[in-house]
Chain A
Amino acid sequence: MSADVRPVGVVGVGVAAPALRLAPGEVAKVWGTGGGRGSLAVCGADEDTLTLAWEAAERAMGAAGAAGDAVSGLWWGTTRPPFAEGPSHAFLASALGLSVSVQGALCAGSPHCGMEALLAAWDAVAAGHADVALVVASDALLPGLGTAGETTTGAGAAALVLVASAGADGNGAGAPARLVSRATRRLPVVDRVRGDQEPATGDVYDGRLFREEVFLPLVADVAATLGTRERWALADPDGKLAGAAVRRLGGTLVSGDTQSRLGDAGSAAALLGAAASFSSPGTLGLVGYGGGRATAVAVEVTRPVPGAQIVEELLSGGSPVSYTDALKARGQLQAQTDPIPMGVPPGGAAFVRGNAEMLLLEGARCRACGTVSTPPSIHPHCIGCGGTELDVVPLARRGTVQTFVVNQTMPPPFTAPLPLVVVDLEDGARLMVQGTSADAADLTIGDPVTLTLRRYATERAIPVYGYKALRTPSRAAAGTTTSGRPVEEVAR
């Protein structure tokens, strides 16, 4: 590394995983092969790679004390973005409240892209083009029915906030962790692929061939160049490859527990597997793999990175889901009925006018009486006093249930039971939004709720995102206490 590039540190980490857990044995019961230990994280019908990315990024930013307008760039790696072609990056950046001039890139096309995003963000900060970089790796891949991948594919997301900073000194200054070395290797071979017209991801041609001639040589080769062998977080497409690789490399595999809980999180696997280990000092080796490429990054952790301490809690738990419910949630099992269309087309003018204020969750606060009218575009006058002096403000994300109902039967694309919740937000604003089925059974007036980005519908291949009121779990409440110092104090 030349002398004029800036050292780059890690000041916040965040993770996300969907709550549903599918036992691989459930898949094996249907298809007769596969199976295996652990569980696979499955997105609910209203979750996808973007909502997972948002959740992880929000946590990382919160942990780093980085406000949206402090972030200079978003580098997002996801194998399969919500739009094959379209505004994936713009949607995520908007929902995170990042500045309209935010830099960055969407890296996609293979599970290697999580590492590509990390390297690109590192380069931008090192070169001085970005002061605060947000790196997000997320995936919720759709495995082909009956493939081996169906018994290993999971979902999850991890995010890091990077700043220009030398490593921590003895006085607690500087970033608690820094990126120290990296290497990439390539082999032009076919591994897991999905053709342009295919809905789901296929298997590798021959598992043994892939293991012996592609994955293990490539990963071992690139990892060995880091010159570290303490702790490893590795991509692990089948739940066994990482262990085999670490046996060759020496050291400890720290990503095994996460892999066992969530399955293969694709582009997020290495970062997600390493996230909990950002809480303890030492060197970490991250290795991502996909599309015939492997990248290894060494991270030196001096102090616990904010956000890392709650990773374990965030990734534990989950609710068991049956195979059929998992298929319905993934959209691979659908009733032959016409779904109720959106009231307005997602590509139409109402969304051109309103998408930013919905993704940013904005209200219009009255200068005269303080009432917040939501959303601003349909409220030229204050609902409290009729005033027209209104300031657009971001709304609080937490509140309590004022009242609610639960729709017990709903046709597609809705899923019942469907709560609709009137939320009194902490900033005095009020909103009615959907809740989630998971909370339907025992939701109560006064319950604390958190507004969380979810996918409301997909129509004409366009996903529609907005916020839902989820009962605040104790683990998320714990997340608010882990913020580090404001990122501005660390970056220099």
Chain B
Amino acid sequence: MGQIFQRSTNFISRISIFGGVFFVALIIWLLLEFNRSSYYTQAFFPREQPVQFSHKHHAGDDGIDCRYCHTSVETEAFAGIPPTKTCMNCHSQIWSSSPYLEPVRESWRTGKSINWTRVHDLPDFVYFNHSIHVNKGVGCSTCHGRIDLMPLTYQVASLNMEWCLECHRNPEPQLRPKNAIFKMDWEAPPNQQQEGARLRREYNIPSTEVLTSCSTCHR
């Protein structure tokens, strides 16, 4: 009985031993990229909502301040999804017979909550507090993007840990003065590096060691 493998197949086995390392690296790299992809993070995908609520219309065209509805963003961890009462502040009078708003009126009549779909859903093992960010110079649009231009709401950030750390390692490029936090069209001035360093001192933002410590976000 002759040999199954010829001498020439040694070449293939050498290549596959050598290439195996690269193959494993490729698989790991693909997994990491998949984890970053918006297919996995759901960034840029508008969520299906019970009402076709448009931030573009309310915050952009009408110029309603973020805090009119998200009342607790400056003082609480949670920015606050407005109760149906807040919708009815205006929509008891305007668009009060629009079929699009029937779920809102139904909620108002029955007292049942509207089941909004959460867009920015952090893992439950992450501690996140809106108020500390808003009060220390991080503006809405830094994380949420140009909400005032979004007809349907989607997230623009991956919400991956590396995305959080990017800013916690080096917050200076993102810091704004107090009066610009809620300005959607804020752009960093040319001297942002010095300005950011000045604001970091002014806001008393802790050292990078503290900002990137595990227990800052995983409590």
Q: Are A and B genuine complex partners?
A: no
Binding site for B on A (CB under 8 A): none
